Structure 1
Amino acid sequence: MPIYVQGKQTSELPNGYLSLDEALQRSFPVPVCPSYRADIGINDTLCYIYTSGTTGLPKPAIVNNRKGIMSRNIWKLIKLTPEDIVYLVTPLYHSGALMMGLFNTINIG
C-alpha cells in the first residue's frame, strides 16, 4: 500500500513514500474514471482511525464507505456553507476530526 505524505515533495521523502501534494496536482481537475471505482462497495473500507488505547493497546478501527457517507451529511443540519471556516484541533486519524471535520468540509465544499 503506498504511503502518501502531505506538505512534502517526493524528493524530500525517504524511499517508499510519495507526495500527496504532487499526486493531487497531477489529478486535479480530472474526474476519476467510474471503472476505477466499479468494484468498491458501500461496506468496503474507506479509511482507518486509531483508538487511543484507553481500553487496551492502540489499534485501528475500520471506517467503511457507509459510515463516511452518513457522517459527511451532519453539517448540512447546521447549514454550514462554503464560506464558513472549520478548525480541526485533533489529528485526522481521530474520528471526530476525520469524519465530522474533514468529510463534512469536503462535502459542503
Structure 2
Amino acid sequence: MTTSVHEDVVSWLQDFFKVPNNGVVDDPLIMVTGQPLHYEPSGTEVEIAPDVAVRPDITIVPRPSAYTVIPHPPSDVNRNPHTRIVCEVAVNQSTGHLRQKCST
C-alpha cells in the first residue's frame, strides 16, 4: 500500500503526460500507465514496474515480426514498445533506496 501523497503525485504525472493526446481516451497515440512490467534496459530478464510509464502506441512503433528482428527490440513483457519515460515517485524513501532504484 502506498500513501495518498504518493498516489496523488502518480496521478498528477499521468494526467500531465496525457495532455498531448488532446483528450483522446480510446486508442491514444501516447500510452500512459502505472506499473507495467518491463524488462530492465540492460538486456537482462529482470522485470521492473515503474510508478508511471510513458510509451508510444503500437500504431507509432509497431511490434516487430518475430522473424524480422533478432534480438527483439526493448519492450514490455507483452512485446509492446518499450517505455520511453519512466517515473519513480519517492515519498518517505531513503536516498540510498532511490540510488539503488536508479541504478537498476
TM-score, normalised by the number of residues in structure 2: 0.23
TM-score, normalised by the number of residues in structure 1: 0.23
More helix by percentage: 1
Compare relative contact order (CA 8 Å, sep 6+) and give the higher one, 1 or 2: 2
